[in-house]
Amino acid sequence: MPDQNPHQKNLRKGRYSEANQIYHVTTTTLNRAPIFENLQRARLMISILKKSDELQHSNTLTFVIMPDHLHWLFQLNQEQSLSSLMQTIKSASAHGVGRAIWQKGYHDHAIRKDEDIQAIARYIIANPVRAGLVEKVGDYPHWDAIWM
């Protein structure tokens, strides 16, 4: 099956991983299927992010698990590349669900020192409100932020 986005390979050109860098990563489910509408699957994804932190691959600052995508703001720890971390996260969640669930690739943004990390976190956790899934952030069950 050909890639959904013919420019997707260009997203990986020049991708650079830096230890201790903070990244905002967005990755989408295969064909935007609402895999994470299912409570157990959403909780599985959360446990995988927490396991990544426990293994000291990442230090999660904020995440939101949307029905068909993930937003994750984290600090990449040493001895782990961004691409290998994302491969691990996607592989573990696909294995837990029992089938392929992710589109190839992901969008990453390395946070610059002049960017307001808390504003980015607020943007991330407000996704369910903007999508019309809930009226208030606190009503959505699949998010967390170190500041909250």
- CB–CB of 81/87 below 8 Å? no
The residue ranges of DSSP E strands in the chain, in sequence order, are 22-28, 58-65, 69-76, 107-110, 143-145
Q: What mean pLDDT is predicted for residues 29-35? A: 98
**pTM to 2 decimal places:** 0.89
Q: What mean pLDDT is predicted for residues 45-62? A: 97
Q: Is the pLDDT of residue 103 over 60?
A: yes
pLDDT at 3: 47
Residues in the chain: 148
Q: Is the pLDDT of residue 78 over 50?
A: yes
pLDDT at 19: 86
What are the residue ranges spanned by the domains of the chain? 17-142
Q: Is the pLDDT of residue 2 over 50?
A: no
CATH architecture of 17-142: 2-Layer Sandwich (3.30)
Place of tokens 């837990």: 96
CA dihedral in degrees (4, 63, 128, 11; nearest 10)?
-20
Q: Is the pLDDT of residue 125 over 80?
A: yes
Average confidence score pLDDT of the chain: 91
